[in-house]
Amino acid sequence: MKTFLRIFAVVVLFATVSVSAVQAGNDDRRGTAGASELLINPWARSAGWGTSGIACVRGIDAFYSNIAGLSFTNKMDLAYSNTQLYGGKSGLMGAASINSFGLAVRVFDAGVMGVSVMAMSFGDIPVTTVYSPDAGKNGTFSPSYMNINVAYAHSFTRSVHGGVNLKVVTESTDNVSASGFAIDAGIQYVTGANDELKFGISLKNLGFGLKYSGAGLSYTHVNTVDNTVTAMHPSVDMEMPTCLNIGLSYDFLFDKWDQMLTVAGAFTSNAFLKDNFGLGVEYSLLNMFQLRCGYVFQQNIFSESDRTTANTGLCAGGSVKIPIGKKDKEGNGTSLSIDYSYRTASPLKGTHSIGASLNF
């Protein structure tokens, strides 16, 4: 009982500090953060019901939603996901895509180590200048974003699980680059006769900001007396897009055909964007087939003139889990999962994600 009270006190303290840190933002700071790609979910499974799975996310998807969920890894998880943002090559963004890879390994009886890499590309973009504004005459450039995550998650008791994720963020073109460092932390609490009730809280992207540097920030000008003058345009420091997530979920269990219906909700407090409310539902059959859908709401999302996001909130997806080999005495075995999700957007095209994972 004393151990539980200590853990509960840590959870309360963590939540209090987290809320204080995130509420430091105000309306004047909206849209001024850097590394906004950290707010895009690259994993197909959890993206199928938006931000709803804060309390019940499991495996590699926990790198985005709540790193505490990594502690539920059995032996080892491998996952890959590809996301075509706003239509990919056929969309207005012009081949914007995300490739993500994750690995999680149980290293202790109660501890799991994990690493993931998210790489974002935008295809070839035509170079235009003040003196040559026509596209196609000056070649192209290809920006690239990447973040590397190293995490550790631990099961303190059967009910309380926590994790910490350290991430390095880099953004670059051929002559300008930036890098930064951030930390994620999360806690999940599981209770009920069949672990059907779950609560989660996570603080994301708390850390040092970004500042661009490179030759691309310089400007060369020839004045009226034919003197060449080079001036530098320094970049301002941009903070990380810190956010606090709080979620709750409940599993309705049915004995026939091993069915389960999970209802989940989440609230996201963004320091530099509008707050989000997410609600999602997932249906599972025979622990092999899952269908999920969700809606992510924020202020003015129904107004085309006042909406501040291209995403219109609706998302859906599904998974097929294929057993490979025999199960052990505890009912665990190797399996292959294929995941897909779709997120609606306007006026851009929707976002498609497809992924695969191996669970050992």
The Cα–Cα gap between 100 and 43 comes to 7
At 115 the three-state DSSP class reads strand
Counting residues of the chain whose pLDDT is more than 70, the rounded percentage is 88
* pLDDT at residue 273, rounded to an integer: 87
323 forms beta bridges with: 335
CA distances from 246 to 42, 91, 182, 276 (A): 20, 33, 19, 11
pLDDT tens across 148-166, in order?
999 999 999 999 999 999 9
| pLDDT reading at 253 higher than 60 | yes
The answer, yes or no, to whether residue 20 has pLDDT greater than 70, is: no
Buried b (16+ CB within 10 A) or exposed e, 24-60: ebeeeeeeebbbebbbbbbbbbbbbbbbbbbbbbbbb
Rg (CA), the chain: 22
pLDDT-derived band at 333, boundaries 50, 70, 90: confident
Mean pLDDT, to the nearest integer, of 210-236? 77
The helix or strand, by DSSP H or E, that contains position 268, with its residue range, turns out to be: strand 259-270
- Tell me which amino acid residue 301 is: I
Token pair listed for 157: 């008791």
Question: What does the pLDDT read at residue 279?
Answer: 97
The two three-digit tokens of residue 173, written as one number: 């073109």
Tokens 């190293």 — which residue? 150
- Of residues 272, 263, 273, 321, the one with CA closest to residue 293: 263
Q: Are the beta carbons of 101 and 94 closer than 8 angstroms? A: no
- Tokens 């191996």 belong to 358
Q: Which fold has domain 2-212+240-359?
A: Porin (2.40.160)
Mean pLDDT across the chain: 87
- The ranges assigned to domains in the chain are 2-212+240-359
Q: Residue range 320-330: average pLDDT?
A: 82
Instruction: Calculate the alpha carbon distances from 263 to 195, 252, 275, 279, 330 in Å.
Output: 14, 8, 21, 8, 26
Distance CA 168, CA 175 (A): 20
136 or 274: which carries more pLDDT confidence? 274
